[in-house]
Structure 1
């Protein structure tokens, strides 16, 4: 470790995910020295309504930061960085979060990223003629903020009228830590419709989508900063006391969780940043691609300018349900028991992942695991999962087949996104991957085989926390994240693509079936003449 003014420097990275808040204490090389995690509650009061509580989130953040800095002198903690899910928080003029729940008496103050209550508003927003929608793959998703804001305005007028500031959760964390209302270019570009190359906020777009009361921009934010810049004043006295740190400690402008994970993954990648596909797998999957040039990829969010690295364009695909889809299909099977882990499922299937017999047991069973809509490349929130090959078999052996078919379906969905990106000029030499599915050797092998790309998995550590700590170091040292990517590469393990002819042919056939099933569902909708706007 290096020293500054004779003091060893440590950096704290905080990651607020869907189900937990986590923190890591890192040294100047990005190596984790201590970690901590605390659970968060997800409230689901109505179908498609998913909410959390800011008080619980901040309490968990304070707890994990105190855990990882225990025994470390506060003068040695030189910076703290935050990332979080792209959830929504509204605060009143005194800074108190406001309720986002329709249920009376509920004190749920965080409208989660996975909340799909605004599907109708999404269709209304996407009818606008503004070019803003071009920068989100051709249309907004109910996971992004303009549709959610329109829903809140219509359905919770008291909350709407009292709101003084509207924050993405990562920006609310820096607000809670500093008292400053700076917004991250990452958050506002990827989730709010801010377009840097067209001057930022588009007032005509806001008026056209009936959010004209935001056109003065104060509630949206007028100080937009790049991730890793230092928030003015640093850690406030109150937050310093709560976190157990020193007032004035450098606080980095935040990032969305997957984007912070992308930073950490790029540091481990053996290929140039614009030839590396980063996958952050968890409840959902984010599929991140970078390019030096701008192009338009329908159905894939972006192009986002400077959202991860300065002067580089980001393209963000994904699967709204990934780990959550796998959990649901496995746990809902009649043969499932609490003792049945993914490790045990993999062991049952066989020790050799290169054995074609393992993979081909799903020749007549196919799964499209879009259980919560298709984020990309269809960009259809109403799209749903599909299974072909169901029978009356409720045995444990059948559960293993369904599990394998779902793992394959997740990998085939990633390939569908990759094909769309490659069609529009992006190219990839490697996949780098982190998150829950990175711990599943079956998924890694299937992914490498399906995509025909080697998969790189960093050795140990929470990539989101490490990315947030990298931002903290940038803020403390007044440097760009690009410089930190060049300063060193972390260790990683490769999962090589195994071109066994039988498997190559099998997965090409599975991919064709997958595409047919996707097309079939689109035809079913047309045949049924479903009107999703009512």
Structure 2
């Protein structure tokens, strides 16, 4: 590593690819974004195309590299959503339909399969909050085997998206420990995949079909260099080192927590707030709570345990609200909200209350079948009316986060500080709301996308180690502190929030 070396972090989110070029000290010198298509289908299904994603990766890397003046690149790494990529025996896309070979992370088609996993009572359920989520890879693969045996018979490889991107870039078969631990039921300190669990759910052939062998490497370890074809696509030099990457939220947690001193463990959590939101801790001792994924041993840094509580749809809910007023952007909606708050104070939108569980509830209830509840909705689809609904949706999201933090504290995690990254972190309005609702101090990374930074830290790790790279590439922080003037109003909102949850439970019971 020299001062002239640069590192690419490449983040594949739900709807776009972002490529960021970073200096050895963690300064982002260029960034490019390209959209990708999301196909939302009936039956709680959502799919994408890996080939389209690779093209967007190539375009993003080329643009960012050119914007920085095409400096030498010493390494790259990928992070991505925990979407499932399916390939056939010739390593071509295994077509689910319409040329799509990816089951998206938030796809819930495998609810019955997830319930069957939970019904096994296997010990590995203790690492997923006691309940298997349909967002994990085992239920998704069960669904393929049960409902698309024509595809299962041709399956030659199944990857978490970040793994597939590294495979596409290098042609190598090494798998990253991070997604295997986080999404595949791999117990890092208990032999890896659990054969008795897989046999119990009819997936005894999963490892062979998915191509999971003995070559498993921790994040930040080089798995190979860019092959000739990938180098041409990306506009980089052949043999540029590619490091094992991470699931996107874990990359954010690496950037937000990886450089902290040990005494901050438990007191500081990472909040990765985007399409969904994840609240993540990195601790030296394992802990468990219902609805909290983990403890995941060694999933980010060796010797440490990761836990992940969260909300399945946050930015996705705000996106949906904007659809009531076509053409209204997040920035414009937030400007209208700020004007309304300045004019009306706490009365702005106060007639609306929302439980934001549009894609189920991960934490604390671990129930993928829960839905959102809205009180006070009208037919006002004007820009001003949409801004009121937008604000109260954001309040509902913030109150959900408050509830999750209370749940973590009951489990012994005294969280007082949130280091925040993701799309929401760019909004001072949303960050102040989260500080006010939770009572936590919030730190956001200045002038850098924290998830991209996490991928860049992994890219820089082969030369200096992942923990050292995380310490040396720490961002500068923008600090938000709770406003005491908002405490009473948000306490009343939270009391309504909990009462609405009680009412929802009563209604569900009456309908059974």
Query: Normalized against structure 1, the TM-score is what?
Result: 0.90
- Quick one: which of 460, 480, 488 aligns to 1:495? 480
- Quick one: which of 449, 462, 476 aligns to 1:462? 449
Assess, with a 3 A threshold, how the Cα gap between structure 1 residues 448 and 76 changes in structure 2: closer, same or farther. Answer: same
Between the aligned partners of 2:273 and 2:133, the Cα distance in structure 1 is: 19
Between the aligned partners of 1:110 and 1:376, the Cα distance in structure 2 is: 26
Quick check: 1:40 aligned with 2:40? no
Paired position in structure 2 for 1:404: 391
Between the aligned partners of 1:269 and 1:442, the Cα distance in structure 2 is: 26
8 A contact 1:368–1:517 mirrored in 2: yes
Paired position in structure 1 for 2:214: 222
Assess, with a 3 A threshold, how the Cα gap between structure 1 residues 130 and 494 changes in structure 2: closer, same or farther. Answer: same
Paired position in structure 2 for 1:97: 93
Q: Which moved more, 1:380-389 or 1:395-404?
A: 395-404
Between the aligned partners of 1:344 and 1:513, the Cα distance in structure 2 is: 28
Quick check: 1:518 aligned with 2:501? yes
Deviation at 1:307, TM superposition (A): 1.5
Q: Secondary structure at the match of 1:198?
A: coil
Q: Secondary structure at the match of 1:304?
A: strand
Q: Secondary structure at the match of 1:519?
A: helix
Between the aligned partners of 2:43 and 2:490, the Cα distance in structure 1 is: 35
Q: Secondary structure at the match of 1:448?
A: helix
8 A contact 1:321–1:371 mirrored in 2: yes
8 A contact 2:50–2:102 mirrored in 1: yes
Paired position in structure 1 for 2:370: 383
CA deviation vs aligned residue, 1:266-291 (integer Å, no higher than 9, x gap): 36879835422211122111221222
Query: Normalized against structure 2, the TM-score is what?
Result: 0.94
Deviation at 1:73, TM superposition (A): 8.7
8 A contact 1:138–1:299 mirrored in 2: yes
8 A contact 2:157–2:209 mirrored in 1: no
Quick check: 1:25 aligned with 2:21? yes
Unpaired stretches in structure 2, ≥5 consecutive residues: none
Unpaired stretches in structure 1, ≥5 consecutive residues: 530-534
Deviation at 1:393, TM superposition (A): 5.5
Paired position in structure 1 for 2:414: 427
- Paired positions, count: 511
**1:252-401 correspondence to structure 2 within 5 Å:** 252-266=243-257, 272-332=264-324, 336-338=325-327, 340-350=328-338, 358-391=345-378, 397-401=384-388
Q: Secondary structure at the match of 1:227?
A: coil
Between the aligned partners of 1:358 and 1:342, the Cα distance in structure 2 is: 20
- Quick one: which of 485, 491, 494 aligns to 2:470? 485
8 A contact 1:360–1:506 mirrored in 2: no
Between the aligned partners of 1:27 and 1:146, the Cα distance in structure 2 is: 38
8 A contact 2:156–2:209 mirrored in 1: no
Between the aligned partners of 2:57 and 2:381, the Cα distance in structure 1 is: 43
